[in-house]
């Protein structure tokens, strides 16, 4: 039975609830022991996915007026509202100790939270690709990524949830749309409180979660501490995650602080394309239907992250389906990309909308 380090960190700052696992993942990638963090944020905040464009996803004015910090994680998915009513589990295993297939990654590491819910009488089940459901309702968000040589799976046991706050932090076209989001979340997102009427003691839930990780992964969790080197990494990630450059990463990488002159034959086009694995957004500068610049964003997952290479692969070529598809598939093959619910064809379809 393998030993895995357990970091039972209790309540931490909103910032540290994200930067801790990024730092530990980098440490595991370099040879530190496989680790599972258990923690909760001490205060509420908003977190956006790796590939999301901040201004398109979050109502920044609402967040400012309600003192809600916003951070970008290095894991895909969508914008989420997080607070102390969630117990985070953050699993960081060296890639050699985890499945290579993303479906198998989720199935392996989500057994523990599922069995934790079931231990308290909630009939939770796994639904591919990365959902935990009770009947037709989602309970708990999950995500996965590769950070260096580390496989990372993150998620939360949801004790209770502020549906109203979640609907307020999202950028939506109007209040009718916001009300629809709120009512839909109430219908399709559930919590321990809604399922049980009363939430079990937090310590009991944590103990059960730890026990289920040991049973499902056939490991012994041994309590440990962050090393001095890991604390230095945490502090580095603290600075990075609070920087304007990181938070506005998607916007700035290719389109930040640059004026685009539009003249005869030159256009800037934004597209949005919904697929099974999420939403793909593009912002494309076209000159006579040749891609001169492109930004791809969205709430999809990709392992490893190769969006920049896909953008480079389609820049400088004419918008023709066959050529685009050949170039995107080349990146997928070279990097051995896995993107649940998203195919190279989907990126091409999003780009083709620019000339439809």
**DSSP letters spanning 314-354:** HTTSB--HHHHHHHHHHHHHHHT-B-TT--HHHHHHHHHGG
- In this prediction, residues 266-283 reach a mean pLDDT of 87
- In this prediction, residues 188-213 reach a mean pLDDT of 97
Residue 16 has pLDDT above 50, yes or no: yes
Residue 318: Cβ within 10 Å count: 12
% of the chain exceeding 70 in pLDDT: 95
From 193, 216, 244, the end of a domain falls on 244
> Is the Cβ–Cβ distance between 263 and 50 less than 8 Å?
no
Residue 261 has pLDDT above 60, yes or no: no
- Both 137 and 88 in one domain: the answer is yes
Q: Where are the alpha helices (DSSP H) in 32-143?
A: 54-57, 60-65, 102-109, 111-119
- Average pLDDT, rounded, for the chain: 92
Residue 253 has pLDDT above 60, yes or no: no
From 217, 244, 271, the end of a domain falls on 244
- Both 233 and 291 in one domain: the answer is no
Q: Where are the alpha helices (DSSP H) in 218-343?
A: 228-242, 244-247, 249-255, 307-314, 321-335
- Both 237 and 267 in one domain: the answer is no
Q: Work out the angle at residue 58's Cα, subtended by the Cα atoms of residues 150 and 233, and round it to the nearest 5 degrees.
A: 30
- DSSP 8-class letter at 107: H
% of the chain exceeding 90 in pLDDT: 76
What is the per-residue pLDDT across 72-98, written as a single tens digit (0 to 9) for each? Answer: 999 988 899 999 999 999 999 999 999
- Both 221 and 306 in one domain: the answer is no
> Is the Cβ–Cβ distance between 142 and 130 less than 8 Å?
yes
For position 276, which CATH number holds? 3.30.390.50
Q: Each residue of 59-71: b (16+ CB within 10 Å) or e?
A: beeebeeeebbbb
Contacts 24+ apart (CB under 8 A), 311-317: 311/254, 314/351, 315/291, 316/290, 316/291, 316/292, 317/290, 317/291
- Both 201 and 237 in one domain: the answer is yes
Instruction: Residue 254: give the domain boundaries.
Output: 250-355
Rounded Cα distance between 250 and 55, Å, is 10
- Both 137 and 26 in one domain: the answer is yes
- Both 221 and 268 in one domain: the answer is no
- In this prediction, residues 149-157 reach a mean pLDDT of 97
- Both 73 and 25 in one domain: the answer is yes
Residue 256 has pLDDT above 60, yes or no: no
- Both 196 and 108 in one domain: the answer is yes
- In this prediction, residues 329-333 reach a mean pLDDT of 97
Token code pair at residue 129: 């690709």
317: pLDDT confidence band, cut at 50, 70 and 90? very high
For position 233, which CATH number holds? 3.30.930.10
pLDDT at 213: 98
- In this prediction, residues 91-106 reach a mean pLDDT of 94
How many domains does the chain contain in total? 2
């Amino acid at each position: 039975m393998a030993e895995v380090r357990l970091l039972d960190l209790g309540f931490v700052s909103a910032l540290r609830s994200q930067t801790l696992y990024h730092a530990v993942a980098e440490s595991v990638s370099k040879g530190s022991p496989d680790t599972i963090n258990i923690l909760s944020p001490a205060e509420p905040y908003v977190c956006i996915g790796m590939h999301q464009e901040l201004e398109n996803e979050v109502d920044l004015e609402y967040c400012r007026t309600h003192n809600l910090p916003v951070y970008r994680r290095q894991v895909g998915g969508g914008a989420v509202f997080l607070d102390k009513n969630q117990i985070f589990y953050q699993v960081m295993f060296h890639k050699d100790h985890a499945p290579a297939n993303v479906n198998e990654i989720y199935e392996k590491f989500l057994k523990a939270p599922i069995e934790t819910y079931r231990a308290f009488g909630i009939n939770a089940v796994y639904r591919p690709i990365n959902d935990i459901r009770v009947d037709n309702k989602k309970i708990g968000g999950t995500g996965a990524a590769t950070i260096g040589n580390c496989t990372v799976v993150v998620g939360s046991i949801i004790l209770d949830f502020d549906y109203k706050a979640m609907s307020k932090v999202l950028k939506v076209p109007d209040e009718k749309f916001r009300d629809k989001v709120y009512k839909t979340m109430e219908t399709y997102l559930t919590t321990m409180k809604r399922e049980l009427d009363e939430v079990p003691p937090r310590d009991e839930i944590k103990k059960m979660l730890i026990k289920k990780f040991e049973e499902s992964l056939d490991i012994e969790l041994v309590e440990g501490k962050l090393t001095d080197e890991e604390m230095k990494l945490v502090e580095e990630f603290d600075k990075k995650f609070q920087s304007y450059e990181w938070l506005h990463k998607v916007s700035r990488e290719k389109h930040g602080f640059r004026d685009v002159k539009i003249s005869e034959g030159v256009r800037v086009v934004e597209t949005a394309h919904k697929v099974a694995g999420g939403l793909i957004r593009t912002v494309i500068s076209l000159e006579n239907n040749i891609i001169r610049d492109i930004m791809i964003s969205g709430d999809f997952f990709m392992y490893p992250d190769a969006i920049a290479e896909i953008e480079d692969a389609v820049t400088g070529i004419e918008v023709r389906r066959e050529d685009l598809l050949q170039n995107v598939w080349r990146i997928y093959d070279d990097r051995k990309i896995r993107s649940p619910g998203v195919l190279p064809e989907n990126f091409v379809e999003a780009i083709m909308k620019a000339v439809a």
